[in-house]
Amino acid sequence: MPPLSIRLRLTLWFSALMVVALTAFSIAVIWLHLLWGRGQFDSELASLGAETALVMQEELGESGKVQRAVQEAYHSIDVPDRAIAILDGRGTPLVARWQGFRYDVASVSIPITHSAHIGTATDQGREWRVFIQREASVDGDYVILVAGPLDQLKRQQRLLWRVLLLATPLVVLCTAAVCWWVASSALRPVTRMAAQAEALTVQSAHWQLDAPPVADELGQLARAFNRLLGRLGSALQMQRQFMADASHELRTPVSVIQTATEVTLERADRETWEYRDALVICQEQSARLSRTVEDMFVLARADAGGYPLTRRPLYVDELVAECVKAASVLAAARQIALVTRAEPEVSMSGDDALLRQLVTNLIDNAVRYTATGGTVTVTVKTEGAFVTIAVSDTGPGIAADDRARVFERFVRLDAARSGTPGAGLGLPIARWIAEQHAGTVTLQPNATGGCLFVARLPRKPGAGPADESRQPSASSGHAGH
Mean pLDDT by 10 residues, the chain (481 residues): 78 89 90 89 88 83 78 82 84 83 73 79 82 81 87 88 89 89 82 79 69 71 81 75 67 80 82 84 80 70 68 91 88 88 90 89 87 90 91 81 68 48 71 88 82 90 47 34 44
The whole-angstrom separation of Cα 78 and Cα 48 is 10
* Residue 417: predicted pLDDT: 42
**Topology of 308-458 in CATH?**
Heat Shock Protein 90 (3.30.565)
The whole-angstrom separation of Cα 107 and Cα 398 is 112
DSSP 8-state class, residue 472: P
* Residue 458: predicted pLDDT: 92
Q: What are phi and psi of 7, to 5 degrees?
A: -60, -45
* Residue 105: predicted pLDDT: 67
* Residue 388: predicted pLDDT: 92
Q: For residue 147, give every residue at least 6 positions away whose Cβ sits within 8 Å of its Cβ, in sequence order, or none.
A: 45, 82, 83, 101, 121, 128, 129, 130, 131
The whole-angstrom separation of Cα 479 and Cα 408 is 5
Can you give the residue ranges of every domain in the chain?
6-157, 217-302, 308-458
Half-sphere exposure of 199 (CA within 13 A, CB side): 12
* Prediction pTM value: 0.48
* Residue 479: predicted pLDDT: 38
Q: Do domains 6-157 and 217-302 have the same CATH topology?
A: no
- The CATH architecture one would assign to domain 6-157 is 2-Layer Sandwich (3.30)
* Residue 251: predicted pLDDT: 73
The whole-angstrom separation of Cα 95 and Cα 79 is 15
The whole-angstrom separation of Cα 190 and Cα 107 is 72
DSSP strand E in 76-149: where?
Answer: 83-88, 93-97, 116-123, 126-135, 142-149
* Residue 477: predicted pLDDT: 32
The whole-angstrom separation of Cα 338 and Cα 335 is 10
- Helix, strand, coil distribution of the chain in percent, nearest 5: 55, 15, 30
* Residue 252: predicted pLDDT: 67
Q: Alpha helix (H) ranges present in 78-216?
A: 151-199
**Helix, strand or coil, per DSSP, at residue 455:** strand
The whole-angstrom separation of Cα 19 and Cα 175 is 10
* DSSP secondary structure, 199-248, as one string: H--TT-S-------SS-SHHHHHHHHHHHHHHHHHHHHHHHHHHHHHHHH
**Topology of 217-302 in CATH?**
Helix Hairpins (1.10.287)
